[in-house]
Amino acid sequence: MDFPQALRASRTRRHLSQLELALRAGTTQRHLSFIENGRSAPGRALVARLADSLALPPRERNGLLLAAGYAPVHPERGLDDPALAPALEALDHILTGHLPYPAIVVDRYGKVVAANAALAVMTDGADPALLGPDANILRLALHPDGLAPRIRNFPQWSRHIIEAIREEQRRNPDERLAALHTELAAYVPEAAADDPTLLGFSVPMELDTASRGLLRLMTTVAVFATAADVTIAELKLEAFLPADRSTAQALAKEL
């Protein structure tokens, strides 16, 4: 995709008019129109302002710069890179501090990067093939050999996950994410995907567990809002919290 196409696509996905984006970026609608039509080539500073005005995540910001012929500004390091150690250590402290409640760190595709010991309470009984170093929490949640048979309100909860992936794909299109959405949607009952009365975003997950009985869990998601590294910016910390007192008491038992 060339720069005019990339810019137009990013602007359209965020429902901004040319005038709105031009005002935010400190340029004119006419100039922006020329850029999107390929009649004018923007300087690096303007590309950076456009990226800021669109609130692009680091990966998409890099892509916009590359499309315009400029070097990317945000590094994408491996998780084993020493430069990322402070951020990963901070996440580890949060995971430990969240005990006795489950918490995980995942990448943008749902791969589990780190987890605390309480996650085992939720995953006990799942197919070992869905666990291990390459475990994907989204697949684990919806797969018939994962948590799905034990989630009492599976239609609502599965819709919550599918809609979240769909929204991420809308904001930041990605072929791998699209393939994951296609795979996971096949595990979800048709009614769960299409019924607007199933408000998955507003209900806790009701999970039957072997060791703690029924757990009613709600979740919070946190990200590094100011991360300059692509890898760290795409990590999400998902913390599970008890939705009632009986769940809190059940999780408080020694692991």
Q: Which of 80, 108, 135, 111 is nearest to 235 (CA)?
A: 108
**DSSP H or E run through 154:** helix 154-171
The pLDDT of 34-59, averaged and rounded, is 93
pTM of the model as a whole: 0.83
**What total number of domains does the chain contain?**
2
Statement to judge: residues 43 and 95 lie in one domain: no
Mean local confidence (pLDDT), 21-32: 95
- Give the separation between CA 236 and CA 219, rounded to whole angstroms: 12
Going by pLDDT thresholds of 50, 70 and 90, the confidence category of residue 249 is very high
Is the same domain home to 108 and 216?
Answer: yes
pLDDT for position 28: 96
Are residues 19 and 121 both part of a single domain? Answer: no
Q: Is the pLDDT of residue 193 over 70?
A: no
Query: Which positions ≥6 away from 106 have C-beta within 8 Å?
Result: 112, 113, 137, 235, 236, 238
Helix (H, G, I), strand (E, B) or coil at 223: strand
Q: What is the mean pLDDT of residues 201-218?
A: 88
- If asked whether residues 147 and 227 sit together in one domain, one would say yes
Position 163 confidence tier, pLDDT thresholds 50, 70, 90: confident
Both 168 and 242 in a single domain? yes
Q: Provide CB contacts within 8 A for 249, sequence distance 6+.
A: none
What pLDDT was estimated at residue 102? 97
Q: Looking at residue 194, which CATH number applies to its domain?
A: 3.30.450.180
- Is residue 92 domain-resident? yes
Same domain assignment for residues 144 and 35: no
Same domain, 158 and 228: yes
Among 67, 93, 110, where does a domain finish? 67
Tell me: pLDDT of 194 over 80.
no
49 and 95 within one domain: no
**100 shares its domain with 59:** no
Q: Are residues 222 and 116 in the same domain?
A: yes
20 pLDDT above the threshold of 60:
yes
pLDDT digits (tens, 9 = 90+) for 223-248: 887 778 999 999 999 999 999 999 99
| Domain extent for 60 | 3-67
Asked if residue 235 belongs to a domain, the reply is yes
**So what's the pLDDT on residue 196?**
52
136 in a structural domain: yes
For position 37, which CATH number holds? 1.10.260.40
* Predicted confidence (pLDDT) per residue in 96-143, tens digit: 999 999 999 999 999 999 999 999 999 999 999 999 888 999 999 999
Res. 93: pLDDT tops 90:
yes
In a domain, 72, yes or no: no
The confidence score (pLDDT) of residue 192 equals: 47
pLDDT higher than 60, residue 149: yes
Q: Both 91 and 184 in a single domain?
A: yes
To the nearest whole percent, how much of the chain has pLDDT over 90? 76
pLDDT at 202: 57
Is 48 a domain residue?
Answer: yes
State residue 174's pLDDT score. 83
Contacts of 148 (CB under 8 A, 6+ apart): 141, 142, 154, 158, 187
Assess if residue 178 is contained within a domain: yes
Domain boundary (67, 96, 113) is at 67
**Under 8 Å between Cβ of 50 and 64:** yes
Query: Both 52 and 110 in a single domain?
Result: no
**pLDDT at site 66:** 94
- Position 191 scores a pLDDT of 60
Strands, DSSP E only, in the chain?
Answer: 103-106, 112-115, 205-209, 213-223, 236-242
